[in-house]
Chain A
Amino acid sequence: MDHAEIKDLMPLKALARLDGDEQRAVDEHLATGCEECEGELASFIETLAAMAVVESGGDAPSDRIWSRLQARLDEERPARRLEDRATRQPSRGRGLAILGSAAAAAVVAIVVSYALINSRLHSDTSETSNEITELTAKVIDIQRNVDTTGDQLAALQAKVAQTTDLTLASLGPDAHVVRLAGLAASPSATGTVALSPAQGTAMLEVSGLPPTPDDKEYEVWWIGAKQGPLRAGLFEPLSSGATIVSLDLPPPGEVVLASAITLEPRGGVEKPSGAMYLKGDFPRR
């Protein structure tokens, strides 16, 4: 089909009433970046939106919709707090840190009181001093254990949150779950991308990637039909086991054709420039 024939199909594209072959031809043409056809399509979508509002009418109270949104906000709060904890204080859960400090302070207070009482009861100050040193060392050990446990718990909580997001993304009504295959740079690497715009979630699980050099990290991409490669996230693989990464969602309205992972300078780049390690195509719907 030539440009004029494709342009003629834009009203039916806006109505999502194209046949399979027509749909493919139009999508491929739009993926080339034809601004005239994009503009034509946008004008029909705007027109249909205006028509839909007037033709549907309706007066559903927006407070009922708000109560549904409010419920989602309430559901999200614990998860968001968890996320904040994992991102803002990667080495330690904030709540646990406070708990740990409070416990340590209490033990220090007990130790000091004990020491003072001891010093009054016993004239042998050197013995008391030794006991204080010994107890202080125990306090430091307890603090260290609390910190270590806090770190482990925070890491587990972050992992659970990521796994939950991955599951949610996989189970969304609009979910795409796409396998990424290792390319020449890392043929044994494997990955899975789960994308659910409805759940507002996009996740990547990847394993078998080689460690990154100090000045580089892996960058994940959505390959959009309209905008080409779009940044989805940066990560460094864990030294063992699968790495789970939360990705940015593709922009609304974009049709994702594929997802890919490249090795890029630390901090990422606007468009892929390094070797591609993994890639997977999204099924056409």
Chain B
Amino acid sequence: MAAGDQDALATLNQRYGRALSAVAARILHDEADAEEVAADVLWQLWRAASRFDRGRGSVGAWIMMTVRSRAIDRLRARKAREPRGNDPADQVSTDDPSNEIHSAEQRRKVEGALATLNDGERELLQLAYFSDLSQSEIAERTSIPLGTVKSRMRSGLIRLRDALQGSAR
């Protein structure tokens, strides 16, 4: 994929656009903002495509990391402008439609791996990934001691990775 190739940008959008927007929407709770963040990330990837180092991880992982970081930055900027009480993290998302970044088979594998987590681990991973809360704030929100928050996040992510790697073998 060469930077400047408009077809490549369209392909990136087809492949990742919906997933990026979904992750950003889960963080921002605002569709328009989420689409803007998704467009930002696709644009950046397209512009820097020729310099992307594949040895450093998959494109999918990189863009997911980037969209999360961008969405959290935007959330923080929005929080700074909005009066208190409008914290999107207080709202509950029930979105669960499909996306295109994974095949149905891959999606089943991930769901299977997520099912190996206990409720506490899964909830903590979700909070850590989709919110901009610090570890202390997560501990406060969940009424779990800080040390336990850290150890559950760690154990949950290791368990999830091992389950995914196990299902891939």
Contacts and interface: CB of A to CB of B under 8 A. Distances in A.
Interface of A: 8, 11-12, 14-17, 19, 38, 42-62, 64-66, 68-69, 72-73, 173-174, 197-198, 200, 226-227, 248-253
Nearest to A49: B64
24 contacts: A15-B157, A42-B61, A45-B64, A45-B65, A48-B129, A48-B157, A49-B61, A50-B102, A55-B126, A58-B21, A58-B99, A59-B22, A60-B22, A60-B38, A62-B21, A65-B13, A65-B38, A66-B17, A69-B43, A73-B6, A173-B77, A252-B48, A252-B52, A253-B57
Interface of B: 6, 9-10, 13-14, 17-23, 25-26, 31, 34-36, 38-40, 42-45, 47-48, 51-53, 56-58, 60-66, 68-70, 73-74, 77, 95-99, 101-102, 106-107, 110-111, 113-114, 125-126, 128-130, 134-135, 150, 153-154, 157-158, 160-161, 164-165
A47 B65 contact: no
Contacts of B14: 62
B17 A53 contact: no
A61 B22 CA distance: 10
B26 A11 contact: no
Nearest to A60: B21
B13 A53 contact: no
B69 A51 contact: no
A227 B56 CA distance: 10
Given A12-B153, A49-B64, A54 B51 contact: no
Contacts of A58: 18-19, 21-23, 25-26, 95, 97, 99
A72 B39 contact: yes
A48 B9 CA distance: 24
Contact of A44 (B48, B102, B110, B157): B157
Main secondary structure of the interface of A (DSSP, over half): helix
Contacts of A48: 61, 64-65, 129, 157
A41 to B, nearest CB: 9
Contact of B44 (A50, A51, A252): A252
A54 B109 CA distance: 10
Nearest to A65: B17
Contact of A253 (B9, B65, B135): B65
Nearest to B57: A42
Contacts of A57: 22, 95-99
A50 B65 CA distance: 11
B68 A251 contact: no
Contact of A51 (B36, B70, B125): B125
A56 B102 contact: no
A52 B101 CA distance: 11
A69 B68 CA distance: 19
